[in-house]
Amino acid sequence: MKLWMNTESLMPPLTGIGNYTFNLLSALQDIPEIQEIECFSGYGFSSASRTIENCRTACAASHDKSDVIATPPRIAVSGVIKHRLRQSALAYSAREALRNAAVRVAGRSKRDFIYHEPSFILKDHPGPSVTTIHDLSFIRHPEFHPRQRVEWLVKQLPRTLERANAIITDSEYVRLELIQSYGIDPNIVTAIHLGVASHYRPQSAHDSLQVLSRYGLQYGEYLLFIGTLEPRKGVDTLLDAFAELPAALRKSFPLILAGASGWKDKELQTRIEVLSRTKTIRHLSFVPEADLPALYSGAALFIAPSSYEGFGLPTLEAMACGTPTLCTADTSMAEFSDGASSLFHRGDSCHLAERIQYLLEHDDARHVLAEKGLLRASQLTWDRCARHTYNVYRSVAA
């Protein structure tokens, strides 16, 4: 079997789709039945091994902030203009037209390859095609996305679904949404849970001391949220819930927010800045992946208040680090955690506050959650995800 995959998402800092692409690609290399894997970077093809190495190098360089220099005004203005152009619906179409042209030219010799698109919209390919649809939040919650992106996805997705020989979703939750929303044949849609990388494992207070000291954190004495700061992540609900906790708990277990700024987060950022003055809430901004296992391990509780997720990888990573988790009920996170995470009602800050307080005041309940989470996380690996994905390829080839 020969495979080519679109790897345009492997640009630092890696987002959810970037992490999916990187880890799946890495695991697929270990499947002997796949003789060759080529990767499309947006302009041309390269081998999987070179693509992975280039991604590692780029991510390492992006984390080195020691030589950061202030951006000259001319470059800053140019960056603003480019950003606005990229956000326009016309820019989406123009960019995809150029990249489709590059695929047609460079991919002429790959007609017998299976093409996997890990980021929704299929490019032009005359052979078998597989796409991964991570979520339908742009339909369920269009208010959570830039209007231009919603318009582009709504227009392009039906064409992709018609062309795809097979479709993968990250969860059964999204699989059923997709079938119900677009009337797709259920037989061509497969839910495959994501995996957790092997370096996500429990760290002791001693093991995590260096990382936690860098952030001024004490092992077992903080609450943790990790994710992009944008509306659908439910950070406002979390802040409301935290404010309802007794003052003693807020002082003993400060809330740590770790994540890059997202779309439409200006009001949220302002609120976080104001609350930070209380010394019980801190925003660490973007955290390098190498620091995440220690950050997860040191948390008394990991909280995922998202109103909607295609999967919710940080929750699984926290479980793999032996951290008790609390997430939104009736979401894909609740699905894959399979009883190993405590749940609260979507958007209900009062219920969330109740769950947080109960877990902080009952060490035994947190211990049970941590043990269940470790067991469940051990069952969800990237090797498992890759093998199930290969089975989809095999069905398409047949």
Given the structure tokens 């037989």, which residue do they identify?
187
For residue 140, what pLDDT is reported?
Answer: 87
Integer CA distances (angstroms), 10 to 43, 58, 75, 345, in order = 13, 9, 24, 34
Task: Looking at the structure, tell me whether residues 335 and 253 fall in a common domain.
Answer: yes
Q: Given CA atoms 239, 83, 122, 260 in this order, what sign does their dihedral have?
A: negative
pLDDT at 75: 31
Q: Are residues 116 and 228 in the same domain?
A: no
> Within a domain: residue 72?
no
Q: For position 132, which CATH number holds?
A: 3.40.50.2000
Asked whether residue 12 falls in the same domain as residue 130, the answer is yes
Largest CA distance in the chain: 66
Q: What domain range includes position 48? A: 2-59+98-195+382-397
Same domain, yes or no: 282 and 246: yes
Radius of gyration of the chain (CA): 21
Whether 5 and 116 have beta carbons less than 8 Å apart is answered as yes
The pLDDT value recorded for residue 280 is 95
Give pLDDT, residue 263: 66
Residues 108 and 256 in one domain: no
In a domain, 92, yes or no: no
40's enclosing H/E stretch is strand 36-40
Q: Where are the alpha helices (DSSP H) in 122-253?
A: 137-140, 147-163, 172-182, 209-214, 235-244, 247-252
DSSP state of 6: E
Is the four-CA dihedral 371, 375, 381, 383 of positive or negative sign? Answer: positive
Q: How many domains does the chain have?
A: 2
Residue at 177 is within a domain = yes
Can you give the pTM of this predicted structure? 0.90
pLDDT score of 107 = 67
Q: How far apart are CA 164 and CA 159, in angstroms?
A: 9
**What pLDDT is recorded for position 249?**
97
Q: Is 252 found in the same domain as 178?
A: no
| Beta carbons within 10 angstroms of residue 343's beta carbon | 19
Residues 121 and 52 grouped into a single domain: yes
Lateral strand order in the sheet of 2-6: 45-47, 36-40, 2-6, 114-117, 129-133, 166-169, 189-191
Structural domain contains residue 89: no
Question: Could you tell me if residue 156 is inside a domain?
Answer: yes
Mean pLDDT per block of 10 residues along the chain (398 residues) reads: 96 89 97 96 91 93 54 36 49 74 76 95 93 94 83 93 98 97 97 97 98 97 92 92 97 94 76 89 88 98 96 97 98 98 98 98 98 98 98 95
In a domain, residue 204? The reply is no
Tokens for 383, please give them: 């090797």
